[in-house]
């Protein structure tokens, strides 16, 4: 049981990693007042970039290209939303469709012949001495690919950055009352553009993690809705970085529970666990919306008095 328990925890953390990284990006974007449905597109672009980079060069090149590809997607998103002043929801849907279609087409064109046999090297787990020896959860949490440690580090770093730095304050002010932020000398357009860029980079990194630390290959639609899960995670985490980390781990555990139940032979439909986090997200939304934990300006376009 103990080995199974460790395996379960380890797999949960592994599944949670790309979700958390993408959700950190989305957290910053939503704190600036924008809902970024283009995140799914950034993840698939990052995954494809990782394949191209790692296939041609090294793991480092893979991650670099993953982040670049994610940024490219978010630049498109920023241009359409901030410069063309289009509705962010419609733009995000289109950007995601574009990235899914483009990566699928190019993948088949460039790698189609190799098919499923195609594989790239993946990151080896790194043991954090001392911490990995802690009983119960040490090995599960601290014998992971190096990128997983970003999950823990960013939970604290982003939390501190958003509440204690000038830039973090500008970010939150933009998401709460962009006109007031503008009056205080902040450029909401610039803040949202930077936030989107960060969100795209994190989405791309998440895609890179999928390929270079988990699957070791690419497939059409590999992102499989993780960008939308990340949006749910931000809600479930109540727009705070530590909350996002916890919610991502919950989603990771929920998706691993099915295997536990399978191995135990319990006839519980696994779809229940997969759907549960979404139900939970809706309940949290219903329960907290009135308490104004979400950025006040979330999902609303910038008015003329804020540009």
Stretch of 17-25, 114-122, 258-266, 269-277 lying at the interface with another protein (CB under 8 A): 269-277
Judged by CB under 8 A, does residue 279 bind another protein?
A: yes
What angle do the packed helices 2-31 and 166-176 form, to 10 degrees?
Answer: 70
Judged by CB under 8 A, does residue 106 bind another protein?
A: yes
* φ/ψ bin of 36: left (φ > 0), alpha (ψ from -120 to 50), beta (otherwise): beta
The rounded distance, in Å, linking the Cα atoms of 213 and 41 is: 19
Smallest gap from Cβ 121 to another protein, in A, equals: 26
Report yes or no: 27 and 243 within 8 Å, Cβ to Cβ. Answer: no
Beta strand segments in the chain, E: 125-127, 143-145
Report yes or no: 19 and 249 within 8 Å, Cβ to Cβ. Answer: no
Judged by CB under 8 A, does residue 136 bind another protein?
A: no
Smallest gap from Cβ 152 to another protein, in A, equals: 26
**According to CB under 8 A, which one of 119, 137, 274, 301 is a site residue for another protein?**
274
Smallest gap from Cβ 18 to another protein, in A, equals: 17
Handedness of CA 156, 159, 165, 171 (dihedral sign): positive
The rounded distance, in Å, linking the Cα atoms of 50 and 39 is: 16
Mask 1-30, x = binds another protein (CB under 8 A)? ------------------------------
Handedness of CA 31, 34, 201, 224 (dihedral sign): positive
Smallest gap from Cβ 185 to another protein, in A, equals: 25
- Strand-pair partners of 126: 144
Between 172 and 226, CB nearer to another protein: 226
Judged by CB under 8 A, does residue 39 bind another protein?
A: no
Judged by CB under 8 A, does residue 232 bind another protein?
A: yes
Judged by CB under 8 A, does residue 118 bind another protein?
A: no
Smallest gap from Cβ 222 to another protein, in A, equals: 13
Between 1 and 84, CB nearer to another protein: 84
Smallest gap from Cβ 113 to another protein, in A, equals: 11
**According to CB under 8 A, which one of 7, 85, 137, 138 is a site residue for another protein?**
85
The rounded distance, in Å, linking the Cα atoms of 115 and 107 is: 9
Stretch of 9-17, 89-97, 183-191, 202-210 lying at the interface with another protein (CB under 8 A): 89-97
> Among all chains, which residue has been given the structure tokens 């191995």?
263
Please report, for the chain, how many H helices and E strands are present, in that order: 12, 2
Between 11 and 94, CB nearer to another protein: 94
Q: Please give the backbone phi and psi of residue 95, each rounded to the nearest 5 degrees, phi first.
A: -65, -40
Reference 146, options 230, 213, 242; nearest CA is: 213
Burial of 254 per CB tally in 10 Å (0-12, 13-18, 19+): buried
Stretch of 59-67, 103-111, 147-155, 251-259 lying at the interface with another protein (CB under 8 A): 103-111
Judged by CB under 8 A, does residue 224 bind another protein?
A: no
Judged by CB under 8 A, does residue 133 bind another protein?
A: no
Query: Which residues contact another protein by CB under 8 A?
Result: 35, 37, 80, 84-87, 89-91, 93-98, 100-102, 104-106, 108-110, 112, 220, 225, 228-229, 231-232, 235, 269, 271-272, 274-275, 278-279, 281-282, 285-287, 289-290, 298-299
């Amino acid at each position: 049981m103990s080995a199974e328990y460790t395996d379960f925890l380890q797999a949960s953390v592994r599944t949670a990693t790309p979700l958390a990284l993408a959700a950190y990006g989305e957290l910053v974007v939503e704190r600036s007042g924008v809902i970024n449905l283009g995140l799914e597109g950034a993840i698939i672009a990052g995954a494809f970039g990782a394949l191209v980079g790692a296939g041609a060069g090294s793991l480092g090149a893979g991650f670099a290209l993953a982040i670049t590809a994610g940024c490219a997607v978010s630049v498109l998103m920023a241009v359409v939303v901030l410069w063309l002043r289009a509705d962010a929801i419609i733009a995000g849907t289109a950007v995601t469709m574009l990235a899914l279609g483009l990566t699928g087409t190019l993948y088949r064109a460039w790698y189609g012949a190799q098919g499923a046999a195609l594989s790239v090297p993946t990151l080896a787990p790194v043991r954090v001495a001392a911490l990995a020896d802690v009983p119960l959860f040490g090995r599960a949490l601290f014998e992971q690919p190096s990128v997983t440690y970003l999950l823990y580090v960013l939970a604290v770093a982003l939390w501190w950055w958003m509440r204690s730095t000038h830039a973090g304050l500008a970010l939150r002010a933009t998401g709460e009352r962009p006109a007031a932020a503008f009056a205080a000398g902040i450029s909401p357009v610039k803040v949202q553009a930077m936030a989107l860029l960060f969100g795209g980079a994190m989405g791309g990194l998440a895609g890179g993690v999928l390929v270079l630390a988990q699957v070791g290959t690419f497939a059409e639609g590999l992102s499989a809705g993780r960008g939308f899960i990340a949006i749910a995670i931000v809600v479930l985490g109540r727009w705070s970085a530590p909350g996002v980390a916890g919610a991502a781990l919950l989603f990771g555990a929920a998706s691993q529970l099915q295997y536990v139940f399978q191995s135990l032979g319990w006839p519980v439909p696994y779809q229940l666990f997969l759907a549960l986090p979404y139900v939970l997200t809706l309940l949290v939304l219903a329960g907290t919306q009135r308490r104004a934990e979400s950025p006040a300006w979330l999902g609303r376009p910038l008015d003329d008095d804020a540009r």
